[in-house]
A and B are shown apart, each in its own frame.
Chain A
């Protein structure tokens, strides 16, 4: 096996500011070597360790879908040292990429089922990947009804607006957007994610619910899903954890004897209930 700490090199092809306050950006990266691109086989829900070499490395979920060929995308919120450096990135800059890592959304087991995608805030990136994958003409027939419920604090925080508009044009997907408080010009739903999920009331029959967002949103949404008769196997979460290596060696992302980087980041609620509540 080669030295797994050495990143593949990519260049920044495009930078998109995703929100009004401009603290969330999406970087589109192109691999310098075609061979590296071909080796980077990923599924929605996986992540990569991306770095500005000399500045530092951090784990970020892959926002693009493998069906979007030619490049990969990462949506990065300006939070700490490395993410702030990423916000100074320009087109043409070199970014190191290691991965793909983690298990990703169980796209095989999800086949033949209704998919309910529930996202809150900027934790929508791997959900973007998932929905684009599901809607792809090669894959759409493998899945039944697709419902997306996506909540944000205010309209300025809604990510991927163009993509969301595109989805709304499809008649084989229901897209429900909501913001926390009423605001002028907002024509979609108003309210927290959990009550909106209740209002939409997706059927739990042969369905999987995929939930990503801040802890309080996840907690309240799980309660609603349970009321809608979703069982623990039908509810999937993607966890975040501080990590360095992405390959199960640096130690810190463990929950019990599992590592979020290699055993996760996607866990069903049933799996989470077996683990200590240390996340």
Chain B
């Protein structure tokens, strides 16, 4: 991506306030903070808020660019009819997304492909994406629920970031990945150069992290198997204990579904049209006004979630709609595990082949 290979630099952890102070004038600075016992990505106003010792956020950082509730436009009325519509004016603001894990950084790529797809582009998302600079960070200690390496990812994958950090203890190794990232690093002339030992340590950490990911899913044929198994009995089994709470989708970094609502400040003659996250796991999601519902049980709804990510995404965008972050596994109240589901799907083919050879 970058023409000139930039040098690899070092950012001391105690220099983070300096980094923040230098950039927060030009950028909205989003970083991981502690909130209600979890990690969340928030726009910070004080570098002391940044939490540096974390695994990952509960809600993925997609919420920075595609928040749970977002204004589409605001309007004024004369008490009955609309008199003025006001477009969003904040979309050109520049953002820094600090401390994004590689899986989530990859989700931004998927989200962008989705919002740009077709004849209609979602400018609200795309403008924000264009104006955002992602400072990613490698995962030194992935959890047992992580499986990014099954999705062509890696705990130290920097492809989808602009600047990439590696936590070396007291300091970060800093590498410019994109032109945007390299330009930013040039601005930070006070960064020191990394030593060969620093770079070597980062490589060792990468190897160690990769070894910690024990889940290996074979997704080579999954999409193809799904194509021909819409009516398979497996969907009954997969959905049997699902409560339909939708947590897996609300916490998924690649889920994009939303509902649209109008809100009124009734006595002030103004209001706004908003979008809020919605989920294919809810019965209302597809319920027609007539009462007809094309996906009226958990079976269809669970199937849709899996097919959307592992069949429709590959068909439409030539990508798998999952980044292997494991949030859906961690959050499921009945311990439904996406990895188990994928393995069950993969076994369909094997069983069929056994039948053929028998």
Show the binding face of A for B, using Cβ within 8 Å: 1-7, 9, 51, 53-57, 79-80, 83, 93-94, 96, 215, 240-242, 244-245, 247-252, 254-257, 262, 276, 278-279
Contacts and interface: CB of A to CB of B under 8 A. Distances in A.
Contact of A4 (B123, B286, B295): B123
A252 B123 contact: no
Contact of B85 (A53, A242, A244, A278): A53
B82 A54 contact: yes
B278 interface: yes
Interface of B: 72-73, 75, 77, 80-82, 85, 87-88, 114-115, 117-124, 230, 256-262, 264, 271, 273, 275, 278, 280, 285-290, 292, 294-295, 300, 304, 307-308, 311-312, 315-316
Nearest to A90: B80
Closest 5 interchain pairs by CB? A251-B257, A247-B120, A257-B312, A5-B72, A94-B81
Contact of A54 (B77, B311, B312, B315): B77
Contacts, number: 122
B287 A242 contact: yes
B215 to A, nearest CB: 27
Contact of B262 (A55, A83, A247): A55
B272 to A, nearest CB: 9
Contacts of A80: 289
B316 A257 contact: yes
A240 B292 CA distance: 11
20 contacts: A5-B124, A53-B75, A54-B75, A54-B271, A79-B289, A83-B289, A241-B286, A242-B285, A244-B275, A245-B260, A247-B120, A249-B120, A251-B256, A251-B258, A252-B278, A254-B308, A257-B311, A276-B230, A278-B295, A278-B304
B73 A54 contact: no
A257 B308 CA distance: 7
A278 B294 contact: yes
A53 B82 contact: yes
Nearest to A77: B289
A57 B82 contact: no
Contact of B118 (A57, A79, A215, A247): A247
Contact of A1 (B88, B123, B289, B312): B123
Residues of A contacting B: mostly:
loop
B73 A5 contact: yes
**Highest count of chain B CB atoms <10 Å: which of A54, A93, A257:** A54
B312 A249 contact: no
A19 to B, nearest CB: 17
Given A53-B273, A79-B289, A83-B289, A244 B260 contact: yes
Contacts of B85: 6-7, 9, 53
Contacts of B122: 4, 247, 249
A79 B294 contact: no
Nearest to B255: A251
A192 to B, nearest CB: 19
A79 B256 CA distance: 28
A257 B304 CA distance: 10
A25 to B, nearest CB: 16
A24 B27 CA distance: 52
Nearest to A262: B118
A6 to B, nearest CB: 5
Nearest to B257: A251
Given A4-B123, A53-B75, A54-B264, A251 B295 contact: no
Contact of A56 (B82, B256, B261): B261
A13 B122 CA distance: 32
A276 B124 CA distance: 32
Nearest to A55: B262
